Amino acid sequence: MPRWLFLASLALALAAPAAALAQQAASPLRGPELLAALRAGGYILYFRHADTDHSQNDERMTSVEDCTTQRNLTDRGRDHSRAIGLVIRTLGIPIGAVLASPLCRTVETAMLAFGTAQKTPAAREGGPLPPGSAGRFAALRVLLSTAVAPGANTVIVAHAYPYFTLVGGQFLSEGEADVVRPRGTDFEVVARVGLRQWRELAATPAPR
């Protein structure tokens, strides 16, 4: 990442509220209200990659291009990814840019669900700061805070830990997503949705 972008990201991260609670919506969206909001666009769907083989790990990884040295999706994870994409299309939720951490499991999740993936190192970079530092994962904070034009939603497919570091609370399960409303200098989480909840939305009666 260019030095100027990192410095700008760091400044934004330090200016944003440090407390995780500051990023939780006071009134979460549910059911028809959530579906209507997503159909109107302007949100970010932050997904943790789908189910992986935990007998594998990234300890030997020397390149994000070499999938043989990474933890990868299982067949269940691949099916899960396809199912997520299918129900989102069925719901008529418009998807714009699809950003993915460059690791194989995140790129594959994005490709199977949405048919595209723009590799984005900022989705996982921790920067040179030590764990626990206020500015760590500043570039991801910028992605989550950047406004999305109405009419489509941005997807980010990445990892549990960088996101948890910014938001706190409960880790995202594999395949789960948070619906995020960007606010320019920060963001708020308005819903958490797994495959079961996506399917429940598909069965939600239209508002009268």
- Nearest of 199, 193, 187, 179 to residue 23 by alpha carbon: 187
Tell me, rounded to whole angstroms, the distance of Cα 178 from its chain centroid. Answer: 7
Burial of 163 (0-12, 13-18, 19+ CB in 10 A): buried
- What is the per-residue pLDDT across 32-51, written as a single tens digit (0 to 9) for each? 999 999 999 999 999 999 99
Q: What is the pLDDT of residue 17?
A: 40
One-letter amino acid of 77: G
Give this prediction's pTM: 0.85
One-letter amino acid of 73: L
Tokens of 76: 């269940």
Q: What is the pLDDT of residue 47?
A: 98
Is the predicted pLDDT of residue 27 greater than 80, yes or no? Answer: no
Q: What is the pLDDT of residue 22?
A: 44
Band of residue 62 on the pLDDT scale cut at 50, 70, 90: confident
- Nearest of 118, 99, 101 to residue 58 by alpha carbon: 101
Q: What is the pLDDT of residue 21?
A: 40
DSSP H helices, 24-103, are 31-40, 75-90
Contacts of 58 by beta carbon, 8 Å cutoff, 6+ apart: 69, 70, 71, 103
Tell me, rounded to whole angstroms, the distance of Cα 1 from its chain centroid. Answer: 19
One-letter amino acid of 14: L
Q: Round to whole Å and give the CA distance between 72 and 171.
A: 19
Count of H helices and E strands in the chain?
A: 7, 6
Average pLDDT over every residue of 68-82: 95
Is the predicted pLDDT of residue 19 greater than 90, yes or no? Answer: no
- Percent with pLDDT over 90 in the chain: 69
Helix (H, G, I), strand (E, B) or coil at 55: coil
Is the predicted pLDDT of residue 193 greater than 90, yes or no? Answer: yes
Band of residue 53 on the pLDDT scale cut at 50, 70, 90: very high
Q: What is the pLDDT of residue 131?
A: 62
- Average pLDDT value for the chain: 86
Q: What is the pLDDT of residue 59?
A: 79
Average pLDDT over every residue of 17-24: 47
Average pLDDT over every residue of 64-71: 88
Q: Partners of 181 in the beta sheet? A: 188
- What is the per-residue pLDDT across 119-176, written as a single tens digit (0 to 9) for each? 999 998 866 566 656 577 999 999 999 999 999 999 999 999 999 999 999 999 999 9
Is the predicted pLDDT of residue 189 greater than 50, yes or no? Answer: yes
Residues 194 and 88 sit within 8 Å (Cβ to Cβ): no
Tell me, rounded to whole angstroms, the distance of Cα 79 from its chain centroid. Answer: 19
Q: What are phi and psi of 62, to 5 degrees?
A: -115, -15
